[in-house]
Amino acid sequence: MTASGDSTPAVAGGLARHIPVLGRPALAYLAVRAGGVYIDATFGAGGYSREILAAADCSVIGIDRDQSAIARGADLVQAAGGRLVLVEEQFSNLQAVAKDRGHAAVDGIVFDLGVSSMQLDQAERGFSFRHDGPLNMRMGGDGPTAADVVATASERDLAVIIATLGEERFARPVARALVAARREAPIQTTRELAEIVSRVVHARPGAIHPATRTFQALRIFVNEELAELAAGLAAAERVLKPGGRLVVVAFHSLEDRIVKSFLTERSRRGGFSRHMPEAVQAATTFQVLTKRPIVPDEAEMSANPRARSAKLRAAERTDAPIATGPATDVLPRLPTLTDVLGRPR
């Protein structure tokens, strides 16, 4: 397999072949070129990195906060012949990662948000109710676990977290059930959590598992994923060259809303505030390339059910200087991990 228009070979080594969700349009919007430097901000199984490396004689910096993902990518690094470097880090720090490797600016950045299939399949990571394991859910190796949050958060905080991040309409009864259950014994495994939730949220034919939304909410909260996304987008704005491309694939409505709001704000004609005089308003830092999000076609959804909720948004960096900070104003109001772990129950 070779990239179109040149003789750059595809990178065949390393991880088992992983087809990234919306991989073809993502690659098209990145507009990969020879000599370019690209950041795969969520390396995971290496799917996007492999496709970028195969598209042109370029370099890729792969970032992942999951140590096991970095370790599994070692063979792909070797197969890439010096064109791929992997870094264990949170993608909010991608500017520092690029600078440490001699790149003040890069040509493109891709984000594939959410939890990976590999993480879901590892029982010991505690991400899924399909496998019984410790109630962990951490993408990295440190910090509080989901079990810590469930054990410590007040009933009110649990309800807010589950309602906001899981969009669970039965959040209050679920929070009440969790608090009642932990009075009897600590909730320490994914099976225990799923069974407690299932007593409150009843299964319906053809619907998702009753515990899906609660698991999703706790995972996002434990890993502070929405704040990390806002900081990562701001970091991308700082490190992209003029003409550099940003591509984001989101699977959760809250994630997509943050991406959409960020790009709308940064691409708004006339600046970032209608209250500022036109003469002093900031120039736009991004040109949006996707007026509507790109979604998977029927064939991709049939081949990969995980793709069903995916939305891709892309933008091109202008030559305007940075005018604002992270898009924290689009984050939902939630208690922080520090708040939850420090408050009395």
Measure the CA–CA gap between 297 and 145, rounded to whole angstroms: 36
In the structure, how many helices (H) and strands (E) does the chain have? 15, 7
Q: What is the DSSP letter of 134?
A: B
Q: What would you measure as the largest C-alpha separation in the chain, in angstroms? A: 65
DSSP string for residues in 252-274: SHHHHHHHHHHHHHHH-TT-S-T
Condensed to tens digits (0 to 9), the pLDDT of residues 217-252 reads: 999 999 999 999 999 999 999 999 999 999 999 998
Measure the CA–CA gap between 255 and 64, rounded to whole angstroms: 18
Measure the CA–CA gap between 254 and 90, rounded to whole angstroms: 19
Tokens of 99: 């600078």
Beta-carbon contacts of 25 under 8 Å, excluding residues fewer than 6 positions away, are 294, 312
219, burial (CB in 10 Å: exposed 0-12, middle 13-18, buried 19+): buried
The answer to whether the beta carbons of residues 190 and 126 sit under 8 Å apart is: yes
Tokens of 219: 């995972």
Whether 13 shows a pLDDT value over 50: the answer reads no
Query: Looking at the whole model, is its pTM more than 0.95?
Result: no
Mean pLDDT of 299-303: 88
Residue in 64, 340, 113 with CA at minimum distance from that of residue 222: 340
> Between vectors from CA 252 to CA 250 and to CA 256, what angle results, nearest 5°?
55
Residue in 213, 192, 47, 195 with CA at minimum distance from that of residue 133: 192
Tokens of 228: 């990390």
Whether 182 shows a pLDDT value over 90: the answer reads yes
pLDDT bin (cut points 50, 70, 90) of residue 116 is low
Measure the CA–CA gap between 120 and 137, rounded to whole angstroms: 9
Mean pLDDT of 120-140: 70
Condensed to tens digits (0 to 9), the pLDDT of residues 200-214 reads: 998 888 778 899 999
The answer to whether the beta carbons of residues 239 and 95 sit under 8 Å apart is: yes
Whether 15 shows a pLDDT value over 50: the answer reads no
The answer to whether the beta carbons of residues 190 and 133 sit under 8 Å apart is: yes
Per DSSP bridges, beta strands 59-64 and 37-40 are parallel
Tokens of 125: 């990571």
Give just the sign of the alpha carbon dihedral 323, 35, 67, 130.
positive
* 276 or 251: which leads in pLDDT: 251
The answer to whether the beta carbons of residues 39 and 63 sit under 8 Å apart is: yes
Averaged pLDDT score across all residues of the chain: 87
Whether 271 shows a pLDDT value over 70: the answer reads no
Residue in 216, 198, 186, 217 with CA at minimum distance from that of residue 345: 186
Condensed to tens digits (0 to 9), the pLDDT of residues 310-330 reads: 999 999 999 999 865 555 567
Instruction: Average the pLDDT over each of 162-166, 190-194, 329-333 and give the range with the smallest value.
Output: 329-333
- What angle do the packed helices 47-55 and 23-30 form, to 10 degrees? 50
pLDDT bin (cut points 50, 70, 90) of residue 302 is confident
Mean pLDDT of 105-125: 73
pLDDT bin (cut points 50, 70, 90) of residue 125 is low
Measure the CA–CA gap between 332 and 330, rounded to whole angstroms: 7
**Can you tell me which residue has the tokens 């109710």?**
129
Measure the CA–CA gap between 212 and 217, rounded to whole angstroms: 9
